[in-house]
Structure 1
Amino acid sequence: MIINGASLSALFTGLKTTFNNAFAAAPSLWPKIAMLVTSTTRENDYAWLANFPRMRKWVGDKVVKSLAAFKYTIVNDDFEATIAVRRNDIEDDNLGIYGPQAKGAAFSAKQLPDEIIFELVNQGFASPCYDGQYFFDTDHPVNGASVSNRGTVALSCATLAAAQASYGAARTAMRKFKDDDGRPLNITPTVLLVPPALDDTATALMTVDRLEDGKPNPYKGTAEVVVANWLTSDTAWFLLDTTKPVMPFIYQQRKAPVFVQQTAPDSDNVFNRAEYKFGAEARGAGGYGLWQLAWGSTGAGA
C-alpha cells in the first residue's frame, strides 16, 4: 500500500467504524445499580445528598433545607487505551491484526464504567460516602442516632430461618429506614447483587417456590438477581433500591469514550518510531450515592 493522506484517511476511518460498532455492541452492567451524572467541570460536589428535600404540609413559612456541613466531591480522572500501527504493516498491507485491537479498545472503553462502579462496591466496606462514614457501615448518623446498612450474615436459602436471617433481615432493615425528620423513606429493595460464587443461591432464593427445608419461599420474585464478575469477594452480597431518582452509586461522566488518532506523517512518532497511533480516551469517575438505598453484607459471619 502506498502511504499518503488518502490511504491513511481510509485506514483510520475503517478502524473508527470498527471501534464504534464494537463499542455499541459491547455489554454493560453498571446502569442496573448506578446513575449517570453528566459533569461539565473538573469535579462535582455532592453535598446536596445529605439534605434531599421532601414534600411537607405547608403551614406558615416554608421550611428551607440548607446544605449540611458534609462535603463530598468526586474528581474526574483521565482514561486511555492506545494502539500503535506500524508503518511497515501499512506498506505491506498487513492490517488484519488491527481490527481486533480496535474492537478490544472499544470493549474496554464500554466497560470502563463497570470497572469503576463495581470497584466502588468492592470498596464499600472501607470507603467513605457523603456523611463521612463508610458506605456500608453500622453507624450512619440520622437524627442523633446511628443507623446500620452493613451486615455479616451469609446469604442462604437452606432454610426459612436462614433466609430470614440473611436476605429477609436486610430487606426489612432497609424498608424501615427513615429521614432526619423521622418519616419513612419508602425504600423498596429491587436488586440482589452477588458475585458468581453466590449466583446459584441468589437465583434459587428469588425463583423457587420452596426452600431447601421444604417451607414456602416468601421472597420469590422480590428482587432481580444481578451477578457481577467484577465483585472480588465470594461471600459478600448486596441489596439495592434502584427505583429512586438518586441511585446507590454514581457514574460521573465528563467525556464519554471517543476514538482518537494520530496520523500526521511529520509527527515525532512517525519520524522516530515509524508508528501511527489510535485508541480511545475518556474522562470520568465514580462515587457513592445515598447509602440508604443499599445494604451490604460481608457474608463472613463477623
Structure 2
Amino acid sequence: MRIIYAGTPAFAEPALQGLLDAGHDIVMVLTQPDRPAGRGMQLKASPVKQLALANGLRVFQPESLKPAEVQAELASVQAEVMIVAAYGLMIPTAVLQMPTLGCYNIHGSLLPRWRGAAPIHRAILAGDAETGVTIMEVVPKLDAGNMISKWAVAITEMDTTQTLHDAISREGARLMVEAMHTLATTGTLASEVQDESLVTYAHKLEKSESAIDWTQTASQLSRQVRAFNPFPVATATFKQQVCKLWFAQAVHGRGQPGTVLETQPLRVACGEGALEIHTLQMPGGKRQTALQFVQGQHVQVGDQFF
C-alpha cells in the first residue's frame, strides 16, 4: 500500500523498517525538524529521518501540519494509509481524512489506560502490573480512536522505561505490520471502541518530578528511579552534589529517611523500607556501580542522602 509514515524517535524505527520489509510503498516520511543536540548543539536528524534517508525515502519536516501549502504537499502523494508512531506534532482533521483507508497509530499502553505523552513512565510510576501496546485508529481527540489490536507485557521490578520501551516498540511494529497486511488483503480492519469510563491520562514528565523524596516508601522510589531511566533520571543530593540514580530496588530496612544503612550493598532508608541502589552517576562523571560510588565518595553508614 501507499503509506505516509509519521514518526520521530527511536520508538518509531522498528515499524518503519517492518513496513519496508513487508514491501509497502512508503511514499513520504513525516518527522520533526532537525533539533540541536549534544555538547556542540549541532542540528541532528531524528532516528526516523536517518532510517528513511538510508532507504532512499522522501522526507518531509514541516514545523506544523496546519498550513495550506503543507497539507497540499501531503495530499499530493495520494496515500492510502497514514501510520503514526510518536510523531510529536498535532495532526489536523483535514490531514487525517486524506488517506483513503485511514490513519493508524502505535500507542505505548493498553488503552484506554494511559492516553497521552508518557504512557510507559506513568505505568511504572503507578505500580501497574502490566503495560503493552495498542494499534488504534487516529481521531481528532487524543488517543481516543477505536482499538485494532493489543499486546501485553508484565512489569517486573527489573523493568525500566528503557526496557519496556524497547519491547513495546518491537511488538508494536509487529502488530502494525500484521494490521497493514490485513488491511491490504481485505480492505478493512475490525476494531473495538474504548471504554471512556476506564480512561487515564499520562501527562508529560517534568524535570521537577525527578528529585527523590526519601520520606516516600521504598517501593514508590524504586518505581520512580526505574520510570525515569533513561530520562529525565531520578536525582538525589549527596555531600552537596546532585547525583543521578539509574537503577534501584526496594528492600527491607528501617531508619531515618535518607540515611545510609549499609554500604555493601548500598542501602538507604526511606519512609518505609529501604532503597538498594545499584547504579548511579556523579556530576560530570560516568555511570558507576554502587560499590565504585561507595569507594570513590568514602560513603559510611550514617551518611545522609537528601
- Shorter-chain TM range is under 0.3
Q: TM-score, normalised by structure 2?
A: 0.23
Q: Which has the higher contact order (CA 8 A, sep 6+)?
A: 1
Compare CA radii of gyration and give the structure with the larger one: 1
